[in-house]
């Protein structure tokens, strides 16, 4: 019984305290230490975490109040408003109050009334309200602010993200052009997911339409405040009143979508998810062509009550969209349907992308290029790749992004990085323009020796190739315009024997195409095959040329091809000391060295090949010219 009486007395005292606060509010600090609550239409609780109408005639709790006063001079509402002091010189004044909360956890609403004197804002007379500030030192603030001329460039009412004290990103722009003697109520809202809205209301008028924007950055904040940049004639002519900050517990939403592997993604929510609401039917996945990708399973992530693992079927798409609906929190409240777009691409790792071909000594008027090959089974975003070289102390220098736009390197694909793709395509044989990527800046590679470095966006080395002009074939008369090609993608990049000069038979480089010196994984027998064995170079469009096809057991041979008649006389030196790919062909039009058509009959094809080690091979084949020539 004693305990009951004691508890009852506590309740009575608490009730009388609240009544006395509401009845005699002028005697109390209007910043309530408890949280008032009101039930709104959608049955969630809206908590007021700060409010001040300045009717207590003091600035208790406000910081840096030297240039501000609680004034009864033309107040906005009631008897008092916060007003800037009259000063004889211009400058910048700011005043702050502590308000602690977390933008990542709650939805927020800020409301306040703002009035200026009989003057138009300008780059020298501007003002803004800090909705969120992590410090009270204006030159250091990170947060968000709404006001006029925050960036110094427009009189429109705007909402900006502030970084290191400066306007960093425009989030919302309204249609209100602030003029002299303007008085409005400003309301700004932010969901925990980063959706911002802004509206205003003039006395006697309806609220403006709502202006919206997005900024997904999140943080805690510790202050609100106002800043006034003024000339001496405008000092003392800014008022603010009826400041209110409300927070609402955020609904369920996705904080992060992450690809775990090529078949699984993880969704992380802002609060625990009701396991009973997780079904594969709550998700729909499509590619950029609106093709459905089957959802195989959706289950809670092991060890987390806020995450869901979604596994899906095979796709060739790159830009995917995931639709989510029907997921609820532990209270049973269902999240608003969401559609998330994401790139089906994976961070590059060492060994997944290799340097495949390098042109460092281009033809006159030409440009360098570096060709990359994706060895992985995953699509890789090109914007996460960089090219670089080294200085004399072997430190990285000239680190340039390969692309700043959305571009993807699919499994097994090649990427040609260069300053000017058009010049490369003009000087070399290429049939794959999609493999080219134009870089705004390209590292400088010496004609004699240097280093090509492939980095990811964390500046981790993915591959590195130290080249030298001495790596070229000794049989080359001129190294200009000749690329170094990788022979095997399985051997180390640093292995100098794994590089060879591109074959003359393909034009001395193969940008965007298979390397002419690439090592075949299939054992090949040396083979020379004239097709057709009987040809008729009479210009009728049928079998006019002899196609001498070749396949060698390895790349890098130098070839001589000569044609003899049956008397053993040489009639044509078709190929002279030319470096060759591992397979290809030579064409003979049936003419001699002077360009004259030869008569019908049997001719002998003599093919001699040799490598850098001095090994030689000789092949002898025959062909027949038919049809009498006139």
Residues in the chain, pLDDT under 70: 1-46, 520-524, 628-630
Query: Does 31-249 carry CATH code 2.60.120.200?
Result: yes
CATH number given to 254-343: 2.60.40.1220
**Do 220 and 101 meet the contact criterion of CB atoms below 8 Å apart?**
yes
Over its C-alpha atoms, the chain yields an Rg (Å, rounded) of: 38
- Fold: same for 353-506 and 527-625: yes
- Three-state SS for 585? strand
Strand-pair partners of 456: 385
Residue in 106, 129, 349 with CA at minimum distance from that of residue 228: 129
CATH number given to 527-625: 2.60.40.4070
Cα-to-chain-centroid distance, residue 200: 35
> Where along the chain do its domains lie?
1-25, 31-249, 254-343, 353-506, 527-625
Measured distance CA(444)–CA(423) in Å, rounded: 17
- Structure token pair of residue 437: 């990527």
> In residues, how long is the chain?
630
- Structure token pair of residue 440: 């705004």
- Structure token pair of residue 28: 């109390």
- The string over 21-60, giving b where at least 16 C-beta atoms fall within 10 Å of a residue's C-beta and e elsewhere, is eeeeeeeeebbeeeeeeeeeeeeeebebbbbbbbbbeebe
Measured distance CA(274)–CA(328) in Å, rounded: 6
Edge-to-edge strands, sheet with 295-300: 254-261, 264-269, 307-312, 295-300
Q: Are strands 106-116 and 183-190 parallel, antiparallel or unpaired?
A: antiparallel
Q: What is the reported pLDDT for 554?
A: 80
Instruction: Give the number of other Cβ atoms within 10 Å of residue 205's Cβ.
Output: 9
Residue where the block lists tokens 């600090």 = 29
Q: What is the reported pLDDT for 272?
A: 95
Alpha carbon separation from 175 to 215, 227, 239, 500 (Å, rounded):
20, 22, 22, 65
- Structure token pair of residue 163: 């970084």
Q: What is the reported pLDDT for 19?
A: 35
What does residue 563 show for φ and ψ, rounded to 5 degrees?
A: -115, 130
**Do 504 and 578 meet the contact criterion of CB atoms below 8 Å apart?**
yes
Measured distance CA(82)–CA(59) in Å, rounded: 8
**Do 387 and 455 meet the contact criterion of CB atoms below 8 Å apart?**
yes
Torsion angle of C-alpha atoms 590, 596, 602, 608, degrees rounded to 10: -60
**Do 587 and 546 meet the contact criterion of CB atoms below 8 Å apart?**
yes
Residue in 200, 224, 225, 186 with CA at minimum distance from that of residue 103: 224
Global pTM value: 0.57
What does residue 251 show for φ and ψ, rounded to 5 degrees?
A: -75, 175
**Do 417 and 369 meet the contact criterion of CB atoms below 8 Å apart?**
yes
**Do 319 and 287 meet the contact criterion of CB atoms below 8 Å apart?**
yes
Measured distance CA(43)–CA(37) in Å, rounded: 12
Q: What is the reported pLDDT for 221?
A: 83
Task: Compute the half-sphere exposure of residue 222: CA atoms within 13 Å on the CB side of its CA.
Answer: 7
Cα angle for residues 182, 183, 188 (degrees, 5° grid):
115
Measured distance CA(373)–CA(275) in Å, rounded: 43
Q: What is the reported pLDDT for 553?
A: 82
Concatenated DSSP letters of 191-242: -TT-EEEEEEE-TTSPPPPPEEEE-----EEEEEEEEEEE-TTTTT-EEEEE
- Three-state SS for 495? coil
CATH of 353-506, one of 2.60.40.1260, 3.30.420.10, 2.120.10.30, 3.40.50.300: 2.60.40.1260
Cα angle for residues 121, 125, 126 (degrees, 5° grid):
75
Measured distance CA(62)–CA(525) in Å, rounded: 88
Instruction: Give the number of other Cβ atoms within 10 Å of residue 157's Cβ.
Output: 28
Q: Is the dihedral of CA 519, 522, 527, 531 positive or negative?
A: negative
């Amino acid at each position: 019984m004693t305990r009951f009486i004691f508890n009852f007395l506590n309740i009575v005292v608490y009730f009388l305290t609240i009544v006395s606060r509401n009845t005699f509010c002028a005697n109390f600090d209007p910043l309530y230490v408890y949280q008032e609550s009101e039930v709104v239409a959608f049955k969630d609780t809206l908590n007021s975490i700060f409010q001040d109408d300045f009717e207590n005639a003091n600035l208790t709790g406000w910081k840096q109040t030297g240039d501000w006063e609680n004034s009864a001079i033309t107040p906005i509402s009631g008897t008092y408003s916060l007003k800037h002091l009259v000063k004889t010189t211009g400058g910048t004044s700011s005043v702050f109050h502590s308000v602690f909360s977390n933008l990542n956890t709650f939805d927020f609403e800020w409301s306040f009334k703002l009035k200026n004197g009989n003057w138009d804002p300008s780059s020298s007379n501007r003002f803004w309200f800090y909705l969120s500030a992590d410090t009270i030192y204006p030159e250091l603030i990170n947060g968000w602010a709404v006001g006029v001329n925050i960036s110094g460039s427009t009189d429109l009412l705007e909402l900006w993200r502030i970084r290191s004290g400066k306007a960093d990103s425009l989030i919302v722009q309204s249609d209100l052009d602030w003029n002299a003697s303007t008085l409005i109520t400003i309301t700004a809202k932010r969901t925990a997911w980063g959706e911002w809205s802004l509206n205003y209301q003039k006395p006697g008028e309806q609220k403006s339409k709502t202006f919206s924007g997005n900024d997904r950055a999140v943080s805690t904040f510790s202050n609100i405040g106002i800043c006034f940049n003024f000339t001496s004639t405008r000092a003392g002519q800014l008022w603010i009143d009826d400041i209110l900050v409300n927070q609402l517990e955020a609904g369920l939403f996705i904080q992060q979508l992450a690809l775990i592997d090529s078949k699984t993604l993880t969704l992380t929510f802002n609060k625990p998810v009701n396991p009973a609401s997780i079904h594969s039917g709550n998700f729909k996945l499509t590619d950029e062509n609106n093709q459905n990708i089957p959802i195989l399973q959706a289950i809670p992530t092991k060890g987390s009550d806020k995450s869901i693992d979604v596994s899906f079927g095979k796709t060739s798409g790159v830009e995917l969209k995931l639709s989510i609906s029907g997921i609820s929190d532990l209270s049973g409240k269902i999240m608003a349907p969401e559609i998330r777009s994401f790139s089906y691409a994976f961070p590059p790792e060492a060994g997944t992308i290799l340097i495949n071909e390098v042109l460092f000594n281009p033809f006159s008027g030409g440009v360098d290029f570096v060709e990359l090959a994706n060895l992985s089974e995953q699509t890789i975003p090109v914007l996460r790749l960089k090219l670089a070289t080294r200085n004399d102390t072997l430190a990285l220098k000239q680190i340039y992004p390969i692309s700043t736009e959305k571009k993807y390197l699919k499994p097994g694909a090649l990427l040609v990085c260069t300053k000017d793709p058009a010049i490369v395509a003009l000087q070399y044989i290429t049939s794959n323009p999609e493999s080219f990527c134009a870089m705004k800046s390209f590292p400088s590679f010496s004609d004699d020796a240097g280093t090509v470095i492939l980095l990811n966006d964390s500046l981790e080395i993915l591959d590195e190739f130290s080249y030298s002009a001495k790596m070229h074939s000794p049989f080359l008369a001129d190294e200009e315009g000749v690329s170094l090609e990788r022979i095997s993608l399985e051997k180390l990049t640093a292995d100098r024997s794994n590089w060879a000069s591109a074959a003359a038979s393909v034009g001395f480089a193969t940008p965007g195409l298979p390397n002419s010196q690439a090592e075949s994984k299939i054992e090949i027998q040396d083979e020379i095959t004239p097709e057709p064995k009987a040809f008729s170079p009479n210009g009728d469009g049928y079998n006019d040329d002899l196609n001498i096809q070749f396949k060698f057991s390895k790349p890098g041979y130098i070839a001589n091809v000569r044609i003899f008649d049956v008397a053993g006389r040489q009639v044509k030196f078709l190929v002279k000391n030319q470096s060759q790919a591992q397979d290809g062909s030579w064409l003979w039009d049936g003419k001699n060295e002077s360009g004259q058509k030869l008569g019908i009959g049997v001719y002998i094809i003599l093919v001699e090949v040799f490598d850098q080690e001095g090994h030689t091979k000789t092949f002898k084949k025959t062909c027949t010219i038919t049809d009498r020539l006139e």
